[in-house]
Amino acid sequence: MLIKSGDTVEVIAGADKGVRAKVIKVDREAGKVLVEGVNKVFKHVKRSQKHPQGGRLSKEMPINIAKVQYCCEGCGKRARVGIRYTDEGAKERYCKKCSASISEIAPPKPAYAKKPVAKKPVAKK
C-alpha cells in the first residue's frame, strides 16, 4: 500500500466512480482508506449536549484501498506508484507513468547510495 494520507486519489469502482479527492486516513490493517466526500452515509443522532439539534449527520465511511488509484500531480493522470532509491540512497515514491518523484519515504542510507564507478586506467603503448 503506497497511498498515504494527503494524497489525491480517484475512485475507480463503486457508486462514487470518477471522483477525485484527498485521502483523510489510511487503515493498513483493514486495507481501507477514508476519502474526502466519498461513500457518504447518514448517521442518526439523538439530541444531546454535543448535538443539540439532533437529526441526521452526514459522514464519510472507509472504502477498500483497491477501489482507489493515485492521481499524479505531475502528469495529472491516474498512475501506479512505485518505490526506488535516489542517488543519495534515500527511498522515495514515484509515478510509474511520468517517473516524477512524489515523496521521500526513508532518509538516505549509505549502503543504497550509488557509488561512482572507478574507471580502469588505460595502458599506454
How do residues 44-90 score in pLDDT, each as one tens digit?
999 999 888 889 988 899 999 999 999 998 888 899 999 999 888 88
Rounded-to-integer distance, Cα 19 and Cα 36, Å: 10
115, with CB counted inside 10 A (0-12, 13-18, 19+), is exposed
Domain 1-71 coded CATH 3.30.1490.20: no
Q: For residue 117, give the DSSP letter.
A: P
- Check: pTM over 0.95? Answer yes or no: no
The mean of the pLDDT values for the chain is 88
- Among 46, 26, 47, smallest CA distance to 35 is for 26
- CATH 2.30.30.30 in the chain, residue ranges: 1-71
For residues 54 and 45, the answer to whether their CB atoms sit within 8 Å is yes
Q: Which residue has the cell 494527503?
A: 6
